Amino acid sequence: DAEITQSPRHKITETGRQVTLACHQTWNHNNMFWYRQDLGHGLRLIHYSYGVQDTNKGEVSDGYSVSRSNTEDLPLTLESAASSQTSVYFCASSEGEKLFFGSGTQLSVL
């Protein structure tokens, strides 16, 4: 079955380190998204991509970057991790009406 996979599921890092969260989908969807989930805020959009070589900033993009070199992958990079980036991160993809989510990555920045 097609799916969307995030790795790692859990990550602990130190402030100032670069961290990359992986997202891989096998649906061949053009649209991919990264969200962060924090209590009281729901899911907030970090970055999104509508296809290969296309990337766009969402509402909370500061300190994050993405790249889209193929259809399947949209890795999210924290250039210099900060404690404010401790959160649960969800990758998602869409084609048509539905948004499909990965299982999430719990990131702790100490």
Shortest separation between residue 62's beta carbon and other proteins, angstroms: 18
| Cβ closest to other proteins, residue 1 vs residue 97 | 97
Distance CA 42, CA 35 (A): 9
Residue closer to other proteins (CB basis): 16 or 51: 51
- Compute the least distance from the CB of residue 16 to other proteins, in Å: 27
Q: Output the DSSP codes for 37-88.
A: EETTTEEEEEEEEEETTEEEE-TT-TTEEE--SSSSB--EEESS--GGG-EE
Measured from the CB atom, the residue of 37 and 67 that comes closer to other proteins is 37
Closest CA to 93 of 1, 20, 4, 21: 4
The footprint of other proteins (CB under 8 A) covers: 30-31, 33, 35, 40-45, 48, 50-51, 88, 90, 92, 94-101, 103-104
Residue type at 73 in one-letter notation: D
Q: Closest separation between CB of residue 80 and other proteins, Å?
A: 27
Give the three-state DSSP class for 17.
coil
Q: Which is nearer to other proteins, 14 or 38 (CB)?
A: 38
Looking up tokens 């799916």 gives: 3
